[in-house]
Every structure is written in structure tokens, then in C-alpha cells.
Amino acid sequence: MNQRHASTVLDESFLSVRAKILEIGAALDRVDRALEDGPPLDEDLRIRRDKIDDAIRLLLSERPDRAERIQLLFSRKYAPGWRTDMAIDS
């Protein structure tokens, strides 16, 4: 396997990671400003905001499986009858 140096990976991805972090910060700022001018979040929106906060905490962890854990955070749990429940024909 051809291992790349961490500095190479960081050099190649720094600007796109920076842009994504700025985009997330801007979106959260917009939510906060909207909350100042409007009603509080309903339960569904609070759950989604909590998931975003949880995902940010996962990003800050130093475990190597951050992407997997974030994907699982935003995913539904597997349900054997999901095709029937969602009316999907096989």
C-alpha cells in the first residue's frame, strides 16, 4: 500500500476543509439569527440541531472512524421491513 504523508494529505485538503467549516459556521449563524427574530425551534428541529452538535463533537474526537460514526449518527437504524414500510417494490 502506498502511504501518503499527513502533511501531503493536509496540504491537498486544507482549503476545501476550511471552506466546508466556514459553510457550517455560516449556516449555524443563520439559524441563531433566525432564532433571535422568530419562535423557538420545535421538537423536530431541536433534534436535528442536537445531531449537528453531536456531529461536531465527533469531528473533534481523535478516533480514526469519525466519518463512519457521523454517517451512523445521521442514518436510520436498520428495520427489516423497511421496503414495505416505505412502499418500495423490489
Computed from CA positions of residues 5, 60, 48, 21, in that sequence, does the dihedral angle turn out positive or negative? negative
Question: 3-class SS at 46?
Answer: helix
| CA atoms in the 13 A half-sphere facing the CB of 83 | 4
Domain boundaries, given as residue ranges, for the chain: 1-38, 40-75
Answer yes or no: are the C-beta atoms of 49 and 41 closer than 8 Å: yes
The dihedral region occupied by 14, where left means phi > 0, alpha psi between -120 and 50, and beta the remainder, is: alpha
Over the stretch 32-44, which tens digit does the pLDDT of each residue have?
898 888 888 888 8
Note the pTM of the prediction, 2 decimals: 0.73
* Span 4-63, pLDDT tens digits: 898 998 999 999 999 999 999 999 999 889 888 888 888 888 888 899 999 999 999 999
